[in-house]
């Protein structure tokens, strides 16, 4: 029975060609979205976002999901599994799913990477989850799951302070 190890949703990552070790960068915990963006608004607010947060008015993609599963002693190399990645909205509906892949554990760990994830948009604000799921080939129900929750919330720029009205001087016409 495959054991979930980790799943991460991030902006980018790399895999060392010699060691096969993965490095993941800019893990996304919060998406701050502009509900009614104006031209150039995204560039103006990028400097005010805290770590772990991504701002977006349009979801052009490029995010990455990495999910790792570990075999158990009973998982023989001839056991065949199916896996799929899906994104679940706050109401539990699936926004999108990856194609189904089949695999067998040839080593202790099996890593699945989606390098250029394109999210079609968020139908609402709230807590979403990227889910990696596994089942034995031939089973109808998913037997093992692991998920990475992230929050989609509205970005509200800090109000700009307006300058106080200048006091009229003696040259002001009334």
User: Per the domain annotation, does 171 fall within a domain?
Assistant: no
Whether 160 maps to a domain, the answer reads no
User: Is the residue at 167 inside a domain?
Assistant: no
Domain membership of residue 149 (yes or no) is: yes
Q: Which domain holds residue 98?
A: 3-154
**How many beta carbons lie within 10 A of that of residue 46, not counting itself?**
10
Place 21 in a pLDDT band, splitting at 50, 70 and 90.
very high
Q: Is 10 within 8 Å of 63 (Cβ atoms)?
A: yes
Q: What are the tens digits of pLDDT across the range 28-59?
A: 999 888 776 555 555 544 444 455 555 554 45
Residue 119 pLDDT level (bands cut at 50, 70, 90): confident
Strand 109-117 relative to strand 63-70: parallel, antiparallel, unpaired? antiparallel
The CA distances from residue 142 to 2, 9, 41, 82, 146, in Å, are 12, 21, 42, 9, 11
> Does any domain span residue 9?
yes
Which parts of the chain are beta strand (E)? Answer: 3-15, 22-27, 30-33, 53-56, 63-70, 81-88, 94-97, 101-103, 109-117, 126-136, 144-154
| Distance in angstroms (rounded) separating the CA atoms of residues 169 and 174 | 11
- Residue 25 has a pLDDT of 93
Count structural domains, the chain.
1
Find the CATH number of the domain harbouring 88: 2.60.40.2550
Tell me: the pLDDT tens digits for 125-144?
999 999 999 999 999 999 99
CA dihedral 90, 92, 96, 102 (to 10 degrees): 130
Tell me what pLDDT residue 116 has: 81
Residue 22 lies in a domain: yes
Tell me whether residue 169 is in a domain: no
- The pTM assigned to this predicted structure is 0.77
| Largest interatomic CA distance in the chain | 93
Q: With 70 as the cut, is the pLDDT of residue 168 above it?
A: no
Q: What is the pLDDT of residue 139?
A: 96
CA 66, CA 111: separation in Å to the nearest integer?
Answer: 7
């Amino acid at each position: 029975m495959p054991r979930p190890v980790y799943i991460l949703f991030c902006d980018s990552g790399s895999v060392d060609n010699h060691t096969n070790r993965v490095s993941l960068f800019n893990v996304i915990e919060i998406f701050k979205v502009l509900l009614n963006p104006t031209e150039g608004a995204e560039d103006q607010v990028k400097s005010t976002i805290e770590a772990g947060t991504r701002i977006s008015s349009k979801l052009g993609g490029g995010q990455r999901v990495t999910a790792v599963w570990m075999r158990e002693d009973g998982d023989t190399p001839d056991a065949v599994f199916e896996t799929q990645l899906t994104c679940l909205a706050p109401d539990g509906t699936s926004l999108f799913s990856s194609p189904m892949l089949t695999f067998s554990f040839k080593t202790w760990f099996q890593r699945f990477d989606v390098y250029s994830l394109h999210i079609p948009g968020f139908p609402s604000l709230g807590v979403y989850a990227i889910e990696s799921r596994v089942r034995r080939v031939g089973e109808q129900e998913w037997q093992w799951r692991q998920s990475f929750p992230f929050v989609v919330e509205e970005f509200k720029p800090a109000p700009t302070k307006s300058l106080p009205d200048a006091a009229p001087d003696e040259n002001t016409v009334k």
